[in-house]
Chains A and B, each alone.
Chain A
């Protein structure tokens, strides 16, 4: 009977194992050394906590921790983020207008690259003159009456909603969660063998959850996303508008109106978004050569009927 482990085979096996082990060690080592360095820089005051956090995020990019969240977890985070936002704003509860918003928004979402989230996409108007809109993870989207007012047509309103859907598709909200919350939560989940959380584990998990929700709400309300993520949301919006059959140029005309109305240093988009004129410049290449569309009378009429405010 022939031996399976002949000397050459043993040599190959050992070599393969050694190469694999050293590759793993090297990758892990790079990340931890880099982390140690940023921690040290933070401790000595060379960089701020936020800078250290963003450096860690870069280092951890290979983990893609936020990508590890399931649609169910994203759903629960999104619910709490929205409940937080709604505690700061009154809702505008016209049934016809909100229904119309959902008809446009949910149809657009169906045509996106991520039509299916755990709880689906849902839209609600909030009553404020601020030009503002918020997209929570999972697809709960709030639009201000101030934002609605600057739209002249259904296509422009569709452009606003498609941009917010873009943030959900790109999971931009989840990216705002500091990695430390997720690694802490994942550690608990990794060690947790019981079926229900109890005592200190639940307490820590709720704390991580709450901090994550705060990370997202402060990004939505105060800091805004990076210019890169805003441009990504605009590009996703153009793709969706094209697929559904709305005029992608409506994004540009809506932004031109926003440029006129936004007050420098004012609340809402003036604070959290790149200047509309810069966004127009960024999207222009994607709009070149597209045919001019005339809004059909029937579409214009239903827009007027649904958005008319006494």
Chain B
């Protein structure tokens, strides 16, 4: 009787231990799966050939593009795009949320429905800005639009630094 009781206690703790492992594996598995797909959360992001701010551009990725996440190096994340393109994106360009399109331009490019666009822009969005502009006609949005048109590419940045003999820290960032 004594032996039996010890046996059952042993098997109970063993079962508990096994259960704990199963739970841990499940949690880890879920976390791993959740981190697998991320979305580009900026208008366009440059997919880089190497994990550095001076890494050359492989291709541009638009807002809402879903990428499969691989390894990480500091703030840089190795990703695979929907067409199989691979490269590095900075973590600040990525969101764990699934994002839809936001602007008219994006619609034209992707053929997303107007419903998807409205959903994506929930909150302070283009509709709110338009309304705000109606109420504040003296604000200078024209210059803001003009400012946004000046874009320096990573390649132009690298050339600019080289021309000025500015030497980035070893390995870049």
Contact = CB atoms under 8 A, between A and B. Distances in A.
A77 B132 CA distance: 11
- A contact residues, range: 35 or more
Interface stretch (B2-10, B65-73, B78-86, B123-131): B123-131
A245 B143 contact: no
A14 B106 CA distance: 51
Contacts of A99: 150
B147 to A, nearest CB: 4
Interface in B122-170: 122-129, 131-132, 135-136, 138-141, 143-144, 147-148, 150-152, 154, 156-157, 160-161, 163-169
29 contacts: A72-B102, A72-B125, A76-B128, A80-B129, A83-B144, A84-B136, A84-B139, A86-B139, A86-B140, A87-B138, A87-B140, A99-B150, A102-B152, A111-B172, A111-B173, A113-B75, A114-B92, A115-B93, A116-B93, A118-B43, A120-B148, A120-B151, A185-B124, A189-B122, A189-B123, A196-B127, A209-B128, A298-B164, A302-B164
A87 B139 contact: yes
Given A110-B154, A118-B41, A103 B123 contact: no
A106 B139 contact: no
Interface string B94-123: 010000001000000000000100111111
Interface string A74-92: 0011011011101100010
Given A70-B123, A195-B118, A210-B135, A79 B166 contact: no
B42 interface: yes
